[in-house]
Amino acid sequence: MPAFIHDDPPILICADLQVEYLTPGRRHVILDGDAAIMSCLELLALWRSNLWPVMHLKRIAQAAWFNPASRLTDWIAEARPRPGEMTFEHPLPSAYSSSRFVDYMSNIRSTRCILVGLSLDETILATAVEGFHRSHRYEVIDDAVACRQPVTGDAAAYRLAVVNVIANFATIHPSAELIRTSGAIAV
């Protein structure tokens, strides 16, 4: 994954870092997302300190969950978008369900997109698959993503299965590798 000095910095896409995922009793609650959130925040800090492009995805829907009128769709405080950072609301799992996101992605030249966040089995999976079919390059940071608990079965096996499916459509990297190679990226 070495970047060359003439490459544009990759876009960090923070997927669905929302209160909904941390609220016990909610349908999409993620019980063991602390480590993933810490990795997301570390990468977000790196991108912000280098003034590299950051994009935030926010899941909304007109239903009992991800209701845009609810405070549960609010950003996790530490990951709240800052001025100058792009935000896109998407009603379906794929970020491409946002027409603004589609317009933006179709108007940028070939660039790497780094996906992190709390919806591995929904937004990250759907966006990586759809992006692949649109010839967009995605990289998923394995330790900076988390997913909800399966209804039955082993949570770790479920997560691994989802990551293995995503690996057919995106490159999978650990955050340490991305952080180690980030010094080679220049704006």
Give the confidence band of 147 by pLDDT, cuts at 50, 70, 90. confident
Per-residue model confidence (pLDDT) at position 155: 83
Determine the pLDDT at residue 111: 77
Task: Examine residue 2 and state whether it is found in any structural domain, yes or no.
Answer: no
The answer to whether residue 139 sits within a structural domain is: yes
Task: Assign 3 a pLDDT band (cuts: 50, 70, 90).
Answer: very low
- Whether 21 maps to a domain, the answer reads yes
Domains in the chain: how many in total? 1
* Average pLDDT over every residue of 147-159: 82
Exposed/middle/buried for 63, CB within 10 Å: 0-12, 13-18, 19+?
exposed
Assign residue 57 the CATH number of its domain. Answer: 3.40.50.850
What residue spans of 1-98 are helical by DSSP H? 34-50
Does residue 91 fall inside a structural domain? yes
**In a domain? residue 167:** yes
Domain that holds residue 87: 11-184
**pLDDT score recorded for residue 68:** 56
102-109 own/partner pairs: CB under 8 Å, 24+ apart: 105/131, 105/134, 105/136, 106/134, 109/8
**In this predicted structure, what is the pLDDT of residue 2?**
47
Q: Would residue 82 count as lying in a domain?
A: yes
The answer as to whether 6 is a domain residue is no
Residue-wise pLDDT tens digits, 18-67: 887 777 777 777 777 888 999 999 999 999 999 999 999 998 876 555 55
Residue 4 pLDDT greater than 70, yes or no: no
